[in-house]
């Protein structure tokens, strides 16, 4: 009897935890997309969430992003007390502490030979590989450049019976895209920012979404209008989030400076290959 009970207990201990128990790992930056997914997980699906944040010392917005996350957390606790038990402490890691990996670096170079992707995708993959994380949510969405890159390589799946998400299909394991993005799931793969805004308004979350932050180079506490996230925010239908004066500057930047970036990158890559 005693041995039988031990075997039974061991069997139960090795059963995988349900999503309601284990929760969801989410890369959260305080930005529009990841905050929208955070609200869906907490308020719509009622799931525990462990948020992760990677600190990039070269980014001037780090302190602003952390402050925004704290404001959002405080607002959730006040308006939705049940989230105190669901939203777990933020887990912070430094990009500077990540070890390099030749396979991941080569994967990014291969993709960049066809289309430019930011270096954050390399260090996000490095982080996941280093910490043995095989399923963390990355808020890739429609109109996001990387969404178009990954579209031929993903497959849909059911996330614990709660919602539909997407992952890299293992049948593409020989592709650079799989090497770089195999660690992530993409719950926002079929929605754009404007649809998120409409959904947030219907759910009465707009006031929380207004607390999000996106600019990488804030000027006197306001979005700069010229960094990549500011440009994407304007191009993807949320121009109202950038101050009017900065929108004018952004227009000039996108018309005059932005078109020069691709040839400059190509020239720099050519020099490095010599």
Reported CATH class of domain 16-211: alpha beta
- Which pLDDT score is estimated for 6? 41
- pLDDT score recorded for residue 256: 52
User: pLDDT of the chain along its 274 residues, tens only?
Assistant: 444 444 444 434 455 578 999 999 999 999 999 999 999 999 999 999 999 999 998 888 899 999 999 999 999 999 999 999 999 999 999 999 999 999 999 999 999 999 999 999 999 999 999 999 999 999 999 999 999 999 999 999 999 999 999 999 999 999 999 999 999 999 999 999 999 999 999 999 999 999 999 888 888 888 888 888 888 888 888 888 887 766 655 555 555 555 545 544 444 444 344 4
pTM: 0.83
- Taking the C-alpha atoms of residue 49 and residue 252, their distance in angstroms, rounded to an integer, is 40
**pLDDT number for residue 257:** 53
Domain boundaries, the chain: 16-211, 215-274
- What is the C-alpha separation between 210 and 167, in angstroms, rounded? 29
């Amino acid at each position: 009897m005693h041995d039988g009970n031990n075997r039974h207990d061991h069997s139960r201990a090795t059963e995988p935890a349900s999503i309601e128990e284990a929760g969801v790992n989410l890369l959260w930056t305080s930005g529009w997309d990841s905050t929208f997914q955070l609200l869906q997980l907490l308020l719509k699906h009622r799931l525990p969430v462990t948020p992760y944040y990677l600190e990039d010392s070269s980014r001037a917005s780090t302190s602003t992003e952390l402050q925004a996350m704290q404001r959002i957390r405080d607002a959730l606790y006040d308006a939705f007390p049940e989230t105190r038990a669901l939203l777990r402490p933020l887990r912070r890691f430094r990009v500077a502490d990540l070890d390099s990996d030749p396979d991941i670096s080569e994967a990014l170079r291969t993709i960049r030979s066809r289309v430019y992707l930011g270096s954050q995708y390399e260090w996000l993959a490095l982080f996941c590989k280093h910490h043995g994380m095989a399923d963390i949510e990355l808020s890739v969405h429609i109109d996001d450049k990387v969404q178009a890159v990954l579209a031929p390589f993903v497959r849909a799946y059911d996330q614990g019976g709660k919602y539909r998400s997407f992952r890299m299909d293992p049948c593409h394991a020989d592709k650079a895209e799989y090497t770089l993005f195999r660690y992530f799931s993409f719950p926002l793969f079929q929605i754009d920012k404007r649809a998120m805004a409409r959904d947030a308004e219907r759910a009465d979350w707009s006031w929380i979404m207004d607390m999000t932050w996106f600019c990488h180079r804030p000027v006197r506490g306001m979005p700069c209008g010229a960094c990549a996230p500011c440009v994407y925010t304007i191009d993807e239908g949320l121009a109202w989030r950038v101050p009017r004066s900065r929108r004018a500057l952004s227009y000039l930047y996108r018309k005059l400076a932005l078109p020069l970036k691709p040839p400059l990158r190509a020239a720099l890559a050519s020099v490095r290959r010599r």
